[in-house]
Amino acid sequence: MNQRMKLFASAAVVMLVAFSLAAMLYTSDEASSRALGADSDSPTTGSPEAKVHIVEFLDPACEACRAFFPHVKKILADNRGKVRLTVRHVPFHRGADYPTKVLEATRAQGKYWQALEALLASQRDWTRNHVVQPELVWKPLEGLGIDLDRVKAEMNSPEIAKRIERDLRDAKALNVSRTPEFFVDGRRLPKFGLEPLQGQVKEALRRHY
């Protein structure tokens, strides 16, 4: 093989590698965009016109999710009309699929956010050593105007199973392996913590408003 052919072969290899990397990045970006999109099947609060969008991957049995929740609520309250929140369910803790299905079933009654707040606030009452005790999940939901018999009848529906599977699949596509995991306008926090979340939201607010 003469020098010219060697150069041609080398260039072809470089181009092939570059094309493959570009295709992989495009596929990854496309999957990320789809996973973080404003999904009508995911619970969302805040104005639909809000330009700053927080997506939280949440496990109802996660202690850190419980600790973050009041701060996330404050971010929404302090920036009413400018920030909205979408929750994706990733039941990573042992037995967490049970309260996740319960939460999903409350959505049909328009009680999701009340149920989520009640379960997070009482999390220590229905978990033992980070393991969910299903029979204890129901007590905190009493008095919220939720038809609990209806929730029990609907929580194991195929539709709810599909929604949870979709959230887990999207979490995997985004390499989400712990909770809470936040994305602000599609950007993952640079590091875990409340200050990074607040900082990224402030940056997004400056950018949009």
- Residue range of the domain that includes 3: 1-35
Instruction: Kindly state whether residues 22 and 115 are assigned to the same domain.
Output: no
Please report the pLDDT score of residue 26 as a whole number.
35
Instruction: Kindly state whether residues 63 and 105 are assigned to the same domain.
Output: yes
Q: What CATH number corresponds to the domain at position 92?
A: 3.40.30.10
Q: Whole-angstrom distance between the N-terminal and C-terminal Cα of the chain?
A: 61
Instruction: Kindly state whether residues 58 and 18 are assigned to the same domain.
Output: no
Instruction: Kindly state whether residues 30 and 50 are assigned to the same domain.
Output: no
Instruction: Kindly state whether residues 132 and 107 are assigned to the same domain.
Output: yes
pTM for the model stands at 0.83
Please report the pLDDT score of residue 27 as a whole number.
37
Token pair of 34, please?
Answer: 């789809």
What are the tens digits of pLDDT across the range 47-92?
999 999 999 999 999 999 999 999 999 999 999 999 999 999 999 9
Please report the pLDDT score of residue 11 as a whole number.
47
Residue 179 main-chain phi, psi, to 5 deg: -130, 155
Instruction: Kindly state whether residues 90 and 63 are assigned to the same domain.
Output: yes
Q: How far apart are CA 59 and CA 104, in angstroms?
A: 12
Is residue 155 within 8 Å of residue 169, measured between CB atoms?
no
